[in-house]
Amino acid sequence: MHLFLAKSSKIEELKLSPDEAKELGDAVLRVTELYEIPIPSEKVMAWIMLGKTAADVYGPRIAAHEIRKAMKPKVVEGNFRRTEKEEPQQRQAAPAAPPSNPALFEDA
């Protein structure tokens, strides 16, 4: 879990020393023992590691592709325009809800 958070957030300060990693691992192991949390089989762990490795390899590439795609020139009235990022669409205000008791709003 720590490795996923550290890699995906790219926060340098989350890097653990070997002693900290062992301490954290021991604490996690102790909790799994107390609550009888089953430890995944070797095959399940292999699939988990495959998924993690694939995310580590392909995640940055997919993010770079999305950024590059957002930066592509757009055609605007026959001219090309380069955008820094996608322009947010304006939201329309929701219509006002009708009063719950119309009699309260009638002239007396």
- Tokens of residue 14, six digits: 């989350």
**pTM reported for the whole predicted model:** 0.42
| Cα 31 to the center of its chain, rounded Å | 27
Burial class (CB in 10 A: 0-12, 13-18, 19+), 89: exposed
63-83: average pLDDT:
73
The Cα 51–Cα 58 span in angstroms is 10
Q: Among 27-36, 49-58, 79-88, whose mean pLDDT is lowest?
A: 79-88
Residue 36 or 50, more confident: 50
CB 10 within 8 A of CB 63: no
Tell which residue, 64, 36, 51, 58, has the closest CA to residue 3.
51
